[in-house]
């Protein structure tokens, strides 16, 4: 099997992320109105069900790095695809809260396994210098998956069961692509695969990164789970028209790859603050004018750009902080985002029942603004700039400095079983020994 190029791998990874994240995870919020009506679910129950795939995502993410090492990148990605296809199929046949919950739990496992599997494959197939950029492109696949789900709700309003069956079919196609293109055996040798220890400073930076990721996930849960429901209930928009919200999220989210890449090379804390403020504003915009489709779609554009930029930024920061642990670097921030969403989903559902959509969204927007003000604490991994490489030395001293050294760092002056003697020294002017 011929290994794919970096570009091919990035596009393949984006497609698999589109299925596992966009369709199996985030498309659920788009179908909440018809699912809630047909299955007679309250907002609080919907919030609980919306949190289930996030919880299963966290547990799957905990075992995913070990699975990627023990089972290999291909088998782990295949397991992700199986859970995705089964979960999407179960959702399409759901008859109540329990069967629906089982389906979304399976989808959460699918999501949790996919990114570590892809990063493990990336370590074997992609040059390290472009890891950040390839990861950013793959992360943008979430936007593609969200956008793909839009035609289903625009042209199949109320036919959510058929839409999820179609999603299950796409998951099966993803399984086939995984089997063909993802390697079963890593090219990384055991010596190169040795993982460096994580020092206290790295743990502190990872802790701060995880706190920001958790807060962003907490605030974003309101939009992912209840934005279409808010536009439908509070704004009296037709169920089909809410699909334009997810189309806006998907299209604008593609720009998140560019923003995350720029932030990676410039100032991550400022980008974190700006994007989190934008995400909070998107909640306030939708709550203020849910009946105006233009403003509602504009809020979706703002939300999509902000959310995908932030997840891409967290992904890159995790990789930078743990350069020798590619299957673990993205795990902690993504797990923190999901924990935040799992915590925020039932809370926003409770607030909607208690205070209404507008006030509930306003509370979450205010929390986002407060967290954005704390962005100077975001880990500044760019402060560790690589030192300039010294000019290449030449001459006798350079030859001595760069000669072979033993385990203790001392120059090797004698070959094994060979001792130099005065007889071995060539005489000056002796033929063939000048």
H helix intervals, 182-290: 190-193, 200-233, 243-254, 256-265, 268-288
Do the domain assignments include residue 316?
Answer: yes
> What distances in angstroms separate CA 78 from CA 74, 148, 174, one per listed residue?
6, 22, 9
The CATH number for 243's domain is 1.20.1250.20
Looking at the structure of the chain, the number of domains it has is: 1
Do the domain assignments include residue 281?
Answer: yes
Do the domain assignments include residue 352?
Answer: yes
> What distances in angstroms separate CA 163 from CA 51, 91, 159, 177, 420, one per listed residue?
21, 10, 6, 21, 80
pLDDT digits (tens, 9 = 90+) for 96-107: 899 999 999 999
Do the domain assignments include residue 87?
Answer: yes
Residues with pLDDT less than 50, the chain? 186-193, 382-403, 414-434
Alpha-carbon distance 302 to 282, whole Å? 6
Do the domain assignments include residue 411?
Answer: no
In this predicted structure, what is the pLDDT of residue 324? 60
pLDDT digits (tens, 9 = 90+) for 214-238: 999 999 998 888 887 787 777 666 6
Percent of residues, the chain, with pLDDT higher than 90: 21
Do the domain assignments include residue 251?
Answer: yes
pLDDT digits (tens, 9 = 90+) for 153-211: 667 656 888 889 999 999 999 999 988 888 765 444 443 445 566 778 878 888 899 99
What is the residue range of 224's domain?
6-185+199-382
């Amino acid at each position: 099997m011929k290994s794919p190029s970096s570009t091919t791998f990035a596009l393949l990874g984006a497609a698999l992320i589109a299925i596992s994240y966009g369709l199996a995870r985030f498309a659920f919020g788009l179908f909440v109105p018809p699912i809630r009506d047909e299955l007679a679910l309250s907002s609080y129950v919907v919030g609980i069900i919306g949190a289930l795939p996030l919880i299963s995502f966290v547990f799957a993410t905990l075992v995913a790095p070990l699975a990627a090492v023990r089972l290999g990148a291909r088998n782990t990605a295949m397991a992700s695809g199986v859970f995705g296809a089964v979960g999407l199929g179960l959702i399409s046949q759901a008859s109540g809260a329990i069967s629906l919950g089982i389906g979304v739990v399976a989808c959460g496992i699918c999501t949790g396994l996919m990114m570590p599997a892809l990063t493990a494959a990336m370590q074997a197939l992609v040059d390290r210098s472009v890891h950040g950029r390839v990861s950013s492109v793959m992360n943008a696949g979430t936007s593609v998956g969200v956008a793909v789900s839009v035609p289903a709700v625009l042209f199949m309003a109320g036919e959510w069961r058929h839409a999820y069956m179609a999603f299950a079919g796409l998951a099966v196609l993803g399984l086939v692509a995984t089997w063909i293109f993802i390697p079963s055996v890593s090219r990384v040798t055991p010596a190169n695969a040795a993982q460096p220890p994580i020092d206290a400073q790295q743990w502190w930076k990872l802790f701060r990164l995880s706190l920001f990721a958790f807060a962003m996930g907490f605030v974003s849960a309101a939009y992912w789970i209840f934005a279409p429901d808010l536009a439908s209930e509070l704004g009296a928009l037709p169920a089909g028209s809410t699909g334009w919200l997810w189309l806006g999220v998907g299209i604008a989210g593609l720009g998140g790859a560019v923003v995350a890449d720029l932030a990676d090379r410039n100032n991550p804390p400022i980008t974190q603050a700006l994007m989190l403020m934008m995400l909070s504003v998107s909640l306030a915009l939708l709550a203020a004018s849910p009946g105006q489709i233009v403003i509602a779609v504009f809020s979706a554009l703002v939300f999509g750009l902000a959310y995908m930029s932030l997840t891409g930024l967290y992904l890159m920061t995790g990789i930078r902080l743990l350069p020798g642990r590619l299957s673990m670097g993205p795990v902690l921030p993504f797990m923190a985002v999901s924990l935040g969403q799992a915590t925020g989903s039932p809370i926003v559902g409770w607030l909607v029942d208690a205070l209404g959509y507008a006030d509930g969204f306003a509370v979450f927007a205010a929390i986002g603004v407060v967290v954005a003000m704390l962005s100077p604490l975001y880990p500044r991994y760019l402060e560790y700039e690589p030192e300039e490489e010294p000019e290449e030395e030449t001459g006798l001293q350079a030859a001595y400095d760069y000669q072979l050294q033993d385990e203790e760092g001392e120059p090797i002056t004698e070959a094994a079983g060979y001792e130099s003697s005065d007889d071995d020294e060539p005489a000056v002017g002796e033929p063939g020994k000048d």
